[in-house]
Amino acid sequence: MAALDRVLAHRPKKDDHAFSQATHCLTAFRDELIEGHRRQACTRERLTHLNGVLSVVLAGHFPLGDVPWSELDKARGWLSDLLDAVEPD
C-alpha cells in the first residue's frame, strides 16, 4: 500500500522507479495469496481482485497515452479493501 501511495503522491511520469516498486510489492503480495490459496486460506476471488489492482498499476507504469491517475486512485481503494479483508484490524 505504501508503494502505491508514493506513486499517487508524486504522480511520476511513466516508467518511474515508484511504479517498479509498487509492481514488485504487489506481485510479492500476489505470491503470498497464491500460497494461501493452495492451503485453502485464500479465495480465488481475492486473487482476482489483486490481479485487477496489478493490471491497473501496470497500465500506469507502461501507459499507451497519459497515466490513468483516476484508475490508479480506484485501484488503491480496491487494494485497501482487499487488505482489510485479508488482514482485518
Model pLDDT, residue 17: 86
Model pLDDT, residue 89: 59
Domains of the chain, by residue range, sit at 2-86
- Dihedral sign of CA atoms 26, 32, 35, 41 in order: negative
Whether residue 50 contacts residue 33, with contact meaning beta carbons closer than 8 Å, is answered with yes
Per-residue pLDDT of the chain (89 residues; tens, 9 = 90+): 999 998 999 887 666 788 999 999 999 999 998 988 888 877 889 899 999 999 999 999 888 888 899 999 999 999 999 999 887 75
Model pLDDT, residue 65: 87
> Distance between CA atoms of 17 and 62, rounded to whole angstroms?
12
Single pTM value for the model: 0.86
